[in-house]
Structure 1
Amino acid sequence: MANSISMVNRVSTAVKALFKKYPMASNAVVYGTLITGAEFTQQTVTKKLLVKPPHQEPIDTGSLGRYAIMGTLIYPNVLYIWYQWLDSRYVGTATKTIVKKLLLDQFVLTPPLLCAFFIIMSAMERKADIFEECRKKMIPTFQMSCMFWLPAQTLNFVFVPPVARVVYVGTCAFIWVNILVWIKRQQY
């Protein structure tokens, strides 16, 4: 038992050192893994678990790749810089500060992130009109994001230390991307 605890402590120390030395890269790996995992989860449920053989479909690795790009190269870097700025500009956990952070996060950052999601994914999917999906799905997606992210971000800004914000958001994003992937698959 003591060896197990010692090993967990060594791993924990090593992970903390990686996040301290390479914060953007570490956040990108964790966030990208969670986002890609959310797409994999959705595909597994919709293509394997909810259908019976022989109607099961193979996992779409191209889609997994697109989510890996969004989740590793784009979103975590934007979020890392955003939260650094937000936390340096609005310090503390006073109610007024939290409300400012929530409003800025939801109404300044979220709309461009959602637009980027639909437009970049459509471009990577080589759709003829890369803006069509954004036009059709932006408003209902934003409304749903308010219901999900405002409570999630309240917890983030009140309880999560700044160094762990991107990982926390990545963990919440695993749930959110399952919702987003479901919305993306809907016909509007």
Structure 2
Amino acid sequence: MNRAWAAFKAHPYIGNVLGYTALFASADLIQQSVLGGKPAAGSASAGIDWRQTARVATVGFCFHANFNYHWLRWLERMLPGGGVRVVAGKVVLDQLIGAPLTISAFYVGLSVLEHKDDPLEDWRQKFWTSYKAGVVYWSTMQAVNFTLVPPVARTAFLGVIALTFTVFLCHLKQHHT
């Protein structure tokens, strides 16, 4: 385990981005398996739409993992430390700037990859529901992240806690209108 942690600390970008992406894609698999995601018409598998999971992984890798890695590093540079006021400041900035960007990238990114005629349709219908739920969930989770997790591992930890919220987003994307 010490060797794995040393490798992670030596290459934090790679470890964080790949770990986050894997967790992001896993959220879609959980949504489809447990919550009954609807398979696409003509999908080879009756239970899992692997193309959908690949699209979620693509959005996770191309935007979410990279954005969160750099965003968390920027927050730490702008507001170093872990005192109550500093953590509160990081959480507020995260909810006012980071959350709208990541939720928007999720809906718009998937719609673009799905070749939808109106890539903003899902965003218009589901953004506020997602954002309101996210403020409650993420404010608590990011406070834990900024207080207890060392900066080098924050994106990976974010991936772990994002698993639950991404299951929610995938489910909302597939079922809620």
Q: Do they fold alike, i.e. is TM over 0.5?
A: yes
Kindly indicate whether the alpha-carbon contact (under 8 Å) linking 1:38 and 1:178 is maintained by their aligned counterparts in 2. Answer: yes
> Does 1:128 find its partner at 2:117?
yes
CA distance in structure 2 between the aligned counterparts of 1:124 and 1:180, rounded to whole angstroms: 16
Cα shift readout 1:33-80 (whole Å, capped 9, x = no counterpart): 1111111111112449xxxxxxx9331010110111122232111111
Matches of 1:23 and 1:160, distance apart in 2: 14
- What's the counterpart of residue 15 of structure 1? 4
Q: Distance in 1 between matches of 2:50 and 2:130?
A: 25
90, 94, 100: which one aligns with 1:101? 90
Which protein has the larger Cα radius of gyration, Structure 1 or Structure 2? 1
Query: For 1:160 and 1:17, how far apart are their aligned partners in 2?
Result: 16
Residue in structure 2 matched with residue 140 of structure 1 by the alignment? 129
The 4+ residue runs of structure 1 with deviation greater than 4 A are: none
Q: Give identity over the alignment, percent.
A: 29
Gaps of 5+ in 2: 38-44
- Any unmatched runs of 5+ in structure 1? 1-11, 49-55
TM-score when scaled to structure 1?
0.85
Contact 1:40 1:64 in 2 (8 A): yes
How many equivalent residue pairs?
170
Residue in structure 2 matched with residue 4 of structure 1 by the alignment:
none
Coordinate RMSD, CA, aligned: 1.6
Query: Equivalent residue of 1:98, what SS?
Result: helix
Structure 2 counterpart of 1:173, from 159, 162, 167: 162
Higher relative contact order (CA 8 A, sep 6+): 2
Letter in 2 for 1:185: Q
Alignment of 1:31-110 (within 5 A): 31-47=20-36, 57-110=46-99
Scaled by the length of structure 2, the TM-score of the pair is 0.90
